[in-house]
Chains A and B, each alone.
Chain A
Amino acid sequence: MEVRLEGLTKQFTETIAVDNVSVTFESGKLIGLLGPSGCGKSTTLFMISGLLKPTKGKIYFGNDDVTNLAPEKRGIGLVFQNYALYPHMTVQQNIMFPLENLKLSRQEALERTKEMATLVGINELLDRKPAQLSGGQQQRVAIARALVKKPRVLLLDEPLSNLDARLRLQTREEIRRIQRETGITTIFVTHDQEEAMSISDKIIVMSKGLVQQEGIPQVVYNKPINLFVSKFLGNPPINTFDGKISNGKIIIGDIELGKTNCNDQNVVIGIRPEDFKVAEDGFEVSITDLSRIGRDTTVYFNLNGIETRALINSEEVSTVNKIKLKVKREKIHLFNPEAGDCINE
């Protein structure tokens, strides 16, 4: 089921949480809604679910306009950040609860519950209470409860943020698997770019209530449309410098990084840490600090007064104080210093 938002706006008493958002969530895809906290991503999700009424704009599920439909009539499954399991019911009762409001015989309901429990792998926990489960197990129960109604769209609100680091990796693979197996259109909200990039078919980056960029994760990462997106994606974050273009050359301080055919102007230059390469013909920097983590070494150095990080293959770093670095031209991102937009050649 394709979900389409048209000019969706949500205004709370003073602030505009979501501002004229128009995006399409393709059918059968796992789509990550990404952004820092307070960017309006959860508001968008809740508007899709129907728990919040949009101030303006329309929401379409396929060809149906669901903007004014009550949540239970939209055919959605929603998983909350804290799972929202009913503490006094067993796992089975929790999963069956949504089915009570459907026209189903109890036998069918029980079968569906079993089916979902098998899908998420909690078959043997059906008689326990939520308090007796681990965080990961609770998460699975929440997903099973959301899926048991056979919804058209599955919505996940920060599904991994309450889990510890190890479980998080495991669970996100699990979400990916469940989505693949059911083929349900899934929209999930997260503030963790790594999480979004690793499992999404598509990501939508939001900030200040606006959609900044949408696309396949790797494309968005490699071709950020503006300074915000470039800064938000990537860990360690992108290095930014105040530089300029003069005579078709990209210059930071007195270092020339490459050529361009743009007009002369002041620009913000962004270089991702992993895009620095050791090269004899590069510019020389003096290393201030090193931290080696296995295969990669993070090199800290001062470039034109800015503390810079470079991620370099450990074998290429000797314990010298100075190192010569180079950046490929296509890896240098140029942004307009005022608007923050990417400058295209």
Chain B
Amino acid sequence: MKNKLTIYSIITIFSELVWIIGSLLTFYYFYRLLDVPEEDQIFDVIRSYDFLGFKNVPETTLNIIMSTCVLILLISTPLLVMNYKNHHTLKNETYERETGIYLIIAGILSIFSLNIFATVVCILTGITIMIKKPRVKIKFVETEFEKKDIKIKSFVNTLLLFFFLSIVAIIVIVPFYWMILTSLMSKSNFSDYTDMNLYLPFSDMYWINFKEALTKADFGLYIKNTLIVAFTTTIGTVFTTILAAFAFSRLEFKGREMIFTTLLMTMMVPGELYVITNFVTISNTFHWYNTFEALIVPFITDVFYIFFLRQTFKQIPDSLYKAAKVDGCSDLKFLMRVMIPIAMPTLITITILNALGTWNAYVWPRLVTESDHYLVSIALRTSFTNSATQMTDYRLQMAAATIITVPILIVFLFARKYIMRGVGRSGTKG
């Protein structure tokens, strides 16, 4: 017999899952429905659509539906992740009073995602936990020193601290907000610059901009290019890095230290110095100009990652290696069965950093490719400016920027731990 709370939490997770999938499907359905205007028009055209028996539904209604879907996604996804993490504590009954408080807050938030099931069940679970774990009253003995004015002073200090931190946070957030805001604007909304538009109503969020950016500027192709390059370089890098780091950390052979020091020294030379020769090598020796090979092959190894992984491998005690040797374990098997599983966090870090590197690459792809092999960064810079008039379609540009930024932000939110591990040791960005 499972306990009641486990069933509750399963209901919550299930309902949130259904909600998320539902809103995703709904969003996709309407996204498919939208028509991208064929010609460049200066003014907005009021479009209307027929679907599911409804006739002549104006685009603003669609905007409202799609915006709601996104809102539901924005609220439900984090709640789902957190509830999933909480599920374990509820199952093992290792929860605290705080879990209950959190669940009630989650329930209240669920109201905004219109998810009644989750709201009711979350609050119910929260209250059950709060009843099961009553507040433990701790009496603080006030000392002579803790006079009231000191308390007030420290309160004001904390308040000031939060004030400053919030201001910085806003400064950091504003460009992202501005980007998303612009990407959703209609033409008239955007050109009406005399008003400072700090928000948009749901009906004015034109999700069609994304579709326009993806199809018109051929941005889908560039995303595909980038994904191909990111995927192959990452696999290649992980493969070469593991082997090299293993050789540098476990195998003993003549010249090992000398080779390693030489590699470390190359890290000090700025990349600009070897870009020139590499350009000649790629385009004249290998004839790879404007091919995927040019974007992939030079980047399937990285001295920094080898160094980074070697450090992790070195921390694995030598006695593990010896123990495996005694048991007749070959080097390769030891690498596969023991070292790689132990060094998994570092490998994840390397994977993420490398994929991010490709996603953000600009200079090298610009040098060795032409428009059909561009990666997202270059396409973003060049695709939305009309070459004849030098006018930039900011809305579509921002929509494209949002398309390439949001996935990274999601990866970052989920894998912050791994990214930060790598950052502590890496050099500069880019």
Contacts and interface: CB of A to CB of B under 8 A. Distances in A.
Question: Touching in the complex, A and B, CB below 8 A?
Answer: yes
A306 B4 CA distance: 77
Interface string A72-86: 110011101111101
B94 to A, nearest CB: 15
Interface string B316-354: 010110111111110000000110011010000000000
A98 B325 CA distance: 10
B338 A86 contact: yes
Interface in B214-255: none
Contact of A72 (B326, B337, B342): B326
B326 A71 contact: yes
B317 A51 contact: no
A145 B337 CA distance: 16
Given A51-B322, A80-B319, A87 B342 contact: yes
Range of interface residues on B (Cβ < 8 Å): 10 to 19
B327 A72 contact: yes
Interface string B290-327: 00000000000000000000000000010110111111
Interface in A68-108: 70-73, 76-78, 80-84, 86-88, 97-98, 101
Interface string A46-84: 100111000000000000000000111100111011111
A149 B337 CA distance: 19
A67 to B, nearest CB: 16
- B319, B327, B328 — most chain A CB neighbours (10 Å): B327
A78 B342 contact: no
- A77, A86, A145, A149 — most chain B CB neighbours (10 Å): A86
Contacts of B322: 46, 51, 78, 80, 84
A97 B325 contact: no
A84 B342 contact: no
A71 B319 contact: no
A84 B329 CA distance: 14
A80 B324 CA distance: 11
Contacts of A88: 338, 341-342, 344
A81 B319 contact: yes
Given A80-B319, A86-B320, A88-B342, A51 B326 contact: yes
Nearest to B330: A101
A98 B337 CA distance: 12
A82 B323 contact: no
- A46, A72, A81, A83 — most chain B CB neighbours (10 Å): A72
Contacts of A81: 319
B325 A71 contact: yes
Contacts of B320: 84, 86
A78 B329 contact: no
Interface of B: 317, 319-320, 322-329, 337-338, 341-342, 344
29 contacts: A51-B325, A51-B326, A71-B325, A71-B328, A72-B325, A72-B327, A73-B328, A77-B326, A78-B322, A78-B326, A80-B319, A80-B322, A82-B317, A82-B319, A84-B319, A84-B320, A84-B322, A86-B320, A86-B338, A86-B342, A87-B342, A88-B338, A88-B341, A88-B344, A97-B329, A98-B328, A101-B327, A101-B328, A149-B327
Interface of A: 46, 49-51, 70-73, 76-78, 80-84, 86-88, 97-98, 101, 145, 149
Given A71-B328, A84-B319, A97-B327, 4 more contacts: A72-B328, A80-B323, A83-B319, A88-B341
Give 9 closest A-B pairs by Cβ, nearest first: A72-B328, A98-B327, A84-B319, A101-B328, A80-B319, A84-B323, A88-B341, A71-B326, A78-B326
